[in-house]
Amino acid sequence: MLMDARTIADPIPLAQALMRCASVTPMEAGALGVVEAELTRLGFRCKRYRFGPVENLYARFGDASPNFCFAGHVDVVPPGEGWKSDPFAAEIRDGKLYGRGAADMKTAIAAMIAATKNYLARAKPVGSISFLLTCDEEGPAVEGTKPTLAALAAEGEKIDHCLVGEPTSEDCVGDVIKNGRRGSLNVSIEMSGKQGHVAYPHRAINPVTPLMETAAALKARKLDDGAPGFDPSNLEVTSIDVGNAAHNVIPQRASLKLNIRFNTNHTGEALYAWIEDVAEAAAARAGAQVSLRIASRSVPFYTTPGPFTDLLIAAVTEAFGRAPVLATTGGTSDARYIKDYAQVAELGLRNETAHMVDEHCDVEDVRTLARCYEAVLARYFS
């Protein structure tokens, strides 16, 4: 039985302490130090891993298996302008906590630590509890969780199951658990032709024509009908730029940006090869030159429903009084790296205000999330 809500370790002061660290990617700005101090007091062994400018933290309580890991990030996106209060003041107004990281996802980290503190006050896990935290999730995500996991594996460290605190909920806290995420591929295409007068097109090579042919061909293909747990993959052209202010000039260059959110039917490499073939064929027909660049990419992950997801659903139902659904929608997360080392899922607060000006969450939702995480630990080690 969980402790009463009035006596559970309160995650709010810790959440505020974390949010007052201006840890805009890739700077940790003291946030990892706040976590390290809390976990050290609980008996965790903490170690930092630095890759480039990025600090990462791994902490473990116990030596035995299984090893249950809480994972997440302390970095946040830049605050932007127009806030009603200092985005790093962590103010509470009318029962809501305002500031960067309120939804994504310093509050979840605080809830994880509060849950762990409360659980350890009344039980000793038959196994280990660990934390894996980075300052690189909101940025390129190449010097954070990914190399840290590789370093841990090289040291013989094994994680059995992992819960990431990304803001997964939609209408109310606990209504969605992410047991997968789609992959994402961003590609830029530039066509180069020969500038000329529109009245003499035979003397020029218009790069806009093969670029539009490329876009049309890419959009015309039906990528798939979906995959287990996933909606159909989708391609969207996000920008077409020429930069031509004149009506009577055929431009020298034209560029296009696109994104594909893809399921487990595809790999980023195969999709890029297809895009490259289509673009090169269109350029060759027009006598133009083409260059392509991958702006970013991430792989999909999928945890097949089973004992681990059943445990999470039972814990959420216990804490929130309603059963969540499993989903694979939304953006990417570091779970795409964790999947290669452990079964992984995501559970956190509502994502409605994530990355927005005046980002906020309900104070009581954070406390309930802490009780939910405690229920996960209790069931995992029962």
Q: Which sequence positions are flagged as catalytic? A: 75, 137
DSSP 320-337: HSS--EEE--S---THHH
Distance CA 109, CA 105 (A): 7
The DSSP symbol for 56 reads E
Extended strands (E) in the chain = 45-51, 54-61, 67-73, 91-93, 96-98, 128-134, 161-164, 176-178, 180-181, 183-192, 196-197, 234-241, 249-250, 253-262, 289-298, 301-302, 325-327, 343-346, 360-362
Query: Which pairing describes strands 343-346 and 161-164: parallel, antiparallel, or unpaired?
Result: parallel
Distance CA 299, CA 237 (A): 20
- DSSP three-state, residue 238: strand
Contact 263, 202 (CB under 8 A): no
Distance CA 165, CA 112 (A): 8
Give whole-number Cα distances, 369 to 12, 64, 81, 264, 299, in Å.
Answer: 11, 27, 29, 30, 28
Dig out the tokens for 139 from the structure.
């940025």
